[in-house]
Chains A and B, each alone.
Chain A
Amino acid sequence: MSTMLDVKTGSGAVGASVGHDSKVNYLNHVNTAASWFLTLDHKRIALLYLVVTSFMFVLGGAYAGVIRAELITPKGDFVSSDFYNKSFTAHGVIMVFFVLIPAIPSVIGNFCLPLMLGAKDVAFPRINLISWYVYMAGASFTLFALISGGVDSGWTFYTPLSTTYLNSNVMATATGLFILGFASILTGLNFIVTIHRMRSPGLTWFRLPLFVWAIYATSVIQLLGTPVIAITLALVGVERALGVGIFDPRLGGDPILYQHLFWFYSHPAVYIMILPALGVTNELISTFSRKPVFGYTMIAGSSIAIAVFSFIVWAHHMFTSGLSPYAAMFFSLLTFSVAIPSGIKVFSWLATLFQGSISFDSPMLFAYSFIGLFTIGGMTGLFLSTLGTDIHMHDTYFVVAHFHYVMVGGTIVGYLGALHFWWPKMFGRMYAEFPAKISAILVFVGFNLTFFPQFLLGYMGMPRRYHEYPAEFQVLNLFSTAGALVLGVGYIMPIFYLTWAAFFGKKASSNPWGATTLDWTHTESPPSPHNFESTPVVTADPYDYRVIQKEGALVAH
């Protein structure tokens, strides 16, 4: 091991030495099956998650294909009503629970968090591995439920339909999701402890990369919220199996109780999905404009504020359920309050770009796409938090468009941007830039073509989850399906060029983008199994571009 030199450079970070043999890395140092499936290395676990979440994304996308194909014509002539209902349920369950919630935290978070903290690994590497197996167990149950007949309750499982009236695989799916929840809880716990206890010397809270703040806020929500959905699903199971009558009005139960319990988790869940993507965007905007993120403290604070406020707005999903008007007003007001911290992030990014030095590498195109689509998605949320307009728009395609803008235009685009950004770090090889730019543009264009017409359909009154619809809605549905084809191409392309690049791409330096955080400045591409030669000591803020570090030279002398 080379000597650690204590030298201040322009960025203030103290570096390890260069000249280390970069051939031994976390990918190639051992390659048996056991070394992958029993790995304790957070980087390998991240790749395990990458494979399974990608598979689930393709599966969920296939179900979306069924939906959009059926909706080309007003009549229900492509698939039966039951198959259609099972398709949109599968699409929702898979995308929400198996893709959107785990993707950025368990892939990007797992890979980058210890690197950004100057740590060797997460706090509990074994729990990290266990969480992947828990994910696999949950996925297996759910896939079994889908294959052995499917479930047609909608991903929301509203009672008493799901508890008393359906003959489909509600129990198997609920069990799968109950198990899966523990993966989320364990990951959240792991990250919280890691961030508290494993920051390298000098890395104070306000020197953390903003992605870490986002992961921290996300982990708090995961830890506190997921138990509620677990118990709610358990209650659904108990009611279905034993006929207890918690949600069955014929036995004195209350169907609306289910909605309160379900949304108490599921609303914070959407912030589990978006916060990491917001965190990624900080890193991308900063790196590709060579400026510190404007308003660091407010951004960090806004992530925590979103996590807190996310727990007190759930009943905005229930404005037409017969809520007391006073409760409705209360929840409406609070919902506006959670919009503000999200908005200030967008303004901060614009201020970051101001007088920056902007380059348009593909990760930046994804970041721009994110800002545009997240802005539209967030702004359209205002129609839904406003009582007077929500009554009309509730349970229509307007809601579908809104949440796809934030979850797909937000989370998935952010995830794609993160994958492209960190791909050279993960594999030590660069992907081809041209197809990546094409993919980013196709995703942006295809996405808008698919989902913008749905705002119009919703205001016209087209309800959600409709297999058939009145003829006057056809033209907009056609545009939407056409857009879905473009979007599909945009999604499939990275599967090819990124996978190809992982094995055959041009070798990348340790910091091809000129970023400033420890994951880029103090590790190889790909990192060595233990990440750092020696623990870095941090003496400055995370985003200081006065000394640009590029072309693989770790900060030396």
Chain B
Amino acid sequence: MKYVDEFRNPERAKALLREIETLAARIHQCRRRPIALMEVCGGHTHTIFKFGIEAMLPESVELVHGPGCPVCVLPMGRVDDCIALAESPGVIFTTFGDAVRVPGSKKSLLGAKAGGADVRMVYSPLDALKIARANPGKEVIFFGLGFETTMPSTALTVLQAEREGIRNFSLFCNHITIIPTIKAILDSPELELDGFLGPGHVSMVIGMGPYQFIAKHYRRPLVIAGFEPLDILQSVWMLLKQIAEGRCEIENQYSRVVPPNANSAALAAISQVFELREFFEWRGLGSIDRSGVRLREAYADYDAERKFSVPALRIADPKSCQCGEVLKGVIKPWQCKVFGSACTPETPLGALMVSSEGACAAYHRFGGLGRKSHKANAA
């Protein structure tokens, strides 16, 4: 596959790994604990597991799988709201595929569908708008989900609906924003992170500017990383190089996609349609100030939360579930009390076990081969 295989070349991977080993050994000489690097984005987690990258790294480098899977951090109460909307009479509920299995307090969207709700998987919010056009007698709700990566397409769809005067389309908005979340992780007292692999596609929208505080105030390096295996390895190498040289900077490994400046057209669409909520609830992390968005008053007609009544109940995460500690990198997935016993991909308790980008599901599915700490799990 052109423009993909080049970024999966095993010879280049070997060369990078040698450099990584040399740097890691140098850094590790003057410290006891391993070098902990968090990949913020679920797409990175997916690549790391799919190609078996974690086990190729030296043992002194640990990857912590961060909160960047939008499906995983969705609290149970919001899933219940989805199901209530989907089960309302006359509603077609449209959603991205990997959200349908996320457990609510009683069932998932897949369960609601089996019970008769009209739940349809779409690949884009524009597909949802198409369904609204084709079904004027029905109310079509789109389950808006994701960080700044998917926000512009949702915003443009709302604007398109307004232009066409489509009245039977609305958005159940669960879009979240990455910066306050990284800040919340950095403020966590248990924090033991040495650097971040920054989200590639989010950065394509917001640019490099918003990350500067991480280097300035928190003295942690961040490298914006692409999604192919060599992107990840090169970004790890760039982070280690910064650590070894005592630098804390925001660097861009993914420059073939991410420009230094923000995408102003995308940001304009976002700010025309959305405004920040005072706070938003995250599964595992709790409430984070100004971390979610909702539709502005001017687009209230397209807001499913105002158009329909949703229960909007806060459901506490199951007590036994340690998703939050996994998300913050305090424990590894297999160290969770219920990993693989009460919580499995078949019957997930925490959302990290649901999506293929969730760290726990990835460990369960792809395993961790070749590292001492993972062997108990894989066996």
* A and B interact physically: no
Q: List A residues at the B interface (Cβ < 8 Å).
A: none
